[in-house]
Amino acid sequence: MFSFNSFLIAENPFKSLFLHKIFQLMYRSHSNGELRSEDIGKQVKLSGWVQKIRDKGFMIWVDLRDRYGITQLIFDENRTDVGIMETAKEIGREFVIQIEGEVIERESKNPNLPTGDIEVLVTDLKVLNKSAVPPFTIEDKTDGGDELRMKYRYLDLRRNPVKESLIFRHKVTMEVRNYLSENGFLEIETPYLIKSTPEGARDFVVPSRMHPGQFYALPQSPQTFKQLLMVGGMDKYFQIVKCFRDEDLRADRQPEFTQIDCEMAFVTQEDVMNTFEGLTRHLLKKIVGVEVEEFPRMTYDEAMRNYGNDKPDIRFGMEFGELNEVAQHKEFKVFNSAELVVGIAVPDAANYSRKQLDALVKWVQRPQVGAKGLVYVKYNEDGSFKSSVDKFYDAEDFTAWAEKTGAKPGDLICVLSGPAEKTRAQLSALRMEMAERLELRKPDEFAPLWVVDFPLLEWDEENESYHAMHHPFTSPKEDELDMLDKNPGEVKANAYDLVLNGNEIGGGSIRIHDREIQNKLFAALGFTPEEAKAQFGFLLNAFDYGAPPHGGLAFGLDRLVAILAGKETIRDFIAFPKNNAGRDIMIDAPAGLDQSQLKELHLNVMKEVSEE
Ligand code: ASP
């Protein structure tokens, strides 16, 4: 256990005048989580916040709190000075106090508290700072709502669950640093004031005062810099780094977030994956005590076909069964005209009531999911079937459906149909929802998975052009290079994602290190040579000076920490997070600038906006 002044722990701190002097000057000799029955008889000094006061008139008990724990103090009319008794009566919750006293045995011990065998009989008390009454209770279960807690985040941080989350994050971060450093990685910082790096989101920009009309962009990731570090011969780089993306905020996203960003030279995809599989295995073992075998791998195409999702949660089954063959060419028009008919077998749900089934149909029809309807088949325990399409299909048909979806008696087969891509996404949403309802997503079970062979490019309907699925520096599969001109949508990339429990926790790729190939890709992405030069000239130039083959990846640290802790929200693991609208409600940001500042930055705010 951490001790502030181990040399003072000796039975008698007044051994010498020198030690006595030190004892007098310091705020505390021990933390509030430290004292045990072995310490009974010691003279100690403690500092901290007042968690709770119980005033019986002749005796007052105070729970004194700091990061390390809680120690009970006792003020006793018969043993504590009258003046101190009086001061004690004036202290309130969250006051910051310092006490001196003797460790004594507690009469009614508290086995739930590490310091529960002792209490400190106070002989001296100093109020270091008063506190206003806190706007919510600083308890594990608080009465404060989300907004209020965010507004007073510094008070929220005093609560155990938030504090523990930050300590947990620290542990993960330290393990990452140690592991990577031991494996030869150098932690190197890269700048925050840069020019835009394309990662698919909008940039946050910073106006330059010294260069009127010019702007820096905050990095969406250090992507180009880490590649330049490889050209610079750094060989193995990592950084725990803030990234900034101006995206419309979906639930549980933050406009600034932290990556474990890495890059390696002279590596193949296999080398990168092995290194970071090693890191992940190390974290699972050290942080959660779970040993995981070699991580399974799945191609992007398989993931989409079997789970409708490029980050499938494989802790439970419910794999997709395609039913075109066995469900089309009957009288049921909806299926006959659909590009894809696809289903899942929901375990042990055949006993769903009519009401529950109707609710499920409504659920898939919500705009967030967007399915037209849901066909269900109850595969009853006695082997019979009951479905919403009994008119069109018989038991033989349903037996074939059950086979394709892997349904057993007692299961509920849920079927969607429509355009392939959309329908898969809808069924994926349903699969996750059912897993949630059936509590199949166990937070203490860890199922990592590599998804590989992503498409290089994605067709963007809106702009009628291709854009890079990962980023424009990702290397195409070498043997598919030829297709880049004729059939760019078919080309696969040397790109990989690490998925943990249905969340993408990391992703990366082998990079293009050849200028010609990079030019070709820019062309496929619709950049003219001039545009490419204007935006990425620095990188292309660097490739003229001996770029080594290289590749890397980045982990989302916030999400990784949350999953390792078995939690869903990343906010709890960030000391000062933004709310769902991207606002920091504690410091009230973003905020306007005053005229003089705007002028200095050569900025004019559009009239419509400033009048809002
Ligand atoms: N820069 C990429 C990202 O932020 C990761 C990588 O390719 O290494 O997703």
Tell me if 69 sits within 8 A of 116, measured CB to CB. no
Cα 273 to ligand 1 centroid, rounded to whole Å:
14
**Residue 217: strand, helix, or coil:** strand
Spatial CB neighbours of 47, under 8 Å, sequence gap ≥ 6: 27, 28, 66, 96, 97, 98, 99, 128
Tell me if 177 sits within 8 A of 573, measured CB to CB. no
How far apart CA 44 and CA 124 sit, in angstroms, is: 11
Cα 66 to ligand 1 centroid, rounded to whole Å:
39
Q: Report which protein residue has its CA nearest ligand 1's atom 4.
A: 221
Tens of pLDDT, residues 424-443: 999 999 999 999 999 999 98
Q: Please indicate whether residue 501, judged by its CB atom, sits closer than 6 Å to ligand 1.
A: no
Between CA 560 and CA 222, with CA 504 as vertex, the angle to 5 degrees is 75
Cα 64 to ligand 1 centroid, rounded to whole Å:
46
Q: Report which protein residue has its CA nearest ligand 1's atom 7.
A: 508
The ligand 1 atom nearest the CA atom of 473: 7
Cα 245 to ligand 1 centroid, rounded to whole Å:
13
* Beta bridge partners of residue 439, listed in sequence order: none
Which stretches of the chain score pLDDT less than 50? 1-2, 6-10
Helices (H), 138-159: 146-151, 153-156
3-state secondary structure 518-545: HHHHHHHCCCCHHHHHHHHHHHHHHHCC
Strand (E) or helix (H) holding 429 = helix 420-437
> Which of 470, 473, 511, 560 has the most ligand 1 atoms within 8 A of CB, as the residue to mutate?
470
Q: Tally Cβ neighbours within 10 Å of residue 504.
A: 15
Q: Please indicate whether residue 426, judged by its CB atom, sits closer than 6 Å to ligand 1.
A: no
b/e string for 407-419 if b means 16 or more Cβ within 10 A? beebbbbbbbbbe
Cα 35 to ligand 1 centroid, rounded to whole Å:
47
How far apart CA 299 and CA 496 sit, in angstroms, is: 9
How far apart CA 319 and CA 345 sit, in angstroms, is: 8
Q: Report which protein residue has its CA nearest ligand 1's atom 3.
A: 554
Token digits of residue 242: 């803030």
Token digits of residue 330: 């009957």
How far apart CA 359 and CA 434 sit, in angstroms, is: 12
Nearest to 341 by CA among 330, 353, 352, 356: 330
Residue written as token pair 């890191």? 279
Cα 556 to ligand 1 centroid, rounded to whole Å:
10
DSSP track, 297-341 = EEEHHHHHHHHSSSS---SS----EE-HHHHSSSS-HHHHT-SEE
* Beta bridge partners of residue 260, listed in sequence order: 240, 555
Spatial CB neighbours of 126, under 8 Å, sequence gap ≥ 6: 97, 98, 99
Between CA 605 and CA 612, with CA 611 as vertex, the angle to 5 degrees is 105
pLDDT at 12: 53
Tell me if 276 sits within 8 A of 506, measured CB to CB. yes
How far apart CA 527 and CA 514 sit, in angstroms, is: 17
Helices (H), 44-121: 82-90
Residue written as token pair 């950084």? 239
pLDDT at 568: 83
Cα 505 to ligand 1 centroid, rounded to whole Å:
11
Strand (E) or helix (H) holding 25 = helix 17-25
* Beta bridge partners of residue 129, listed in sequence order: 96
How far apart CA 239 and CA 167 sit, in angstroms, is: 20
Single-letter code of the amino acid located at 133: V
Nearest to 557 by CA among 545, 565, 549: 565
How far apart CA 547 and CA 167 sit, in angstroms, is: 40
CA–centroid distance for 161 within its chain: 16
How far apart CA 97 and CA 57 sit, in angstroms, is: 20
How far apart CA 44 and CA 446 sit, in angstroms, is: 45
Spatial CB neighbours of 353, under 8 Å, sequence gap ≥ 6: none
The ligand 1 atom nearest the CA atom of 262: 8
Tell me if 333 sits within 8 A of 389, measured CB to CB. no
Q: Please indicate whether residue 552, judged by its CB atom, sits closer than 6 Å to ligand 1.
A: yes
The two beta strands, 236-244 and 186-187, are parallel
Tens of pLDDT, residues 252-291: 889 999 999 999 999 999 999 999 999 999 999 999 999 9
Token digits of residue 323: 């039913």
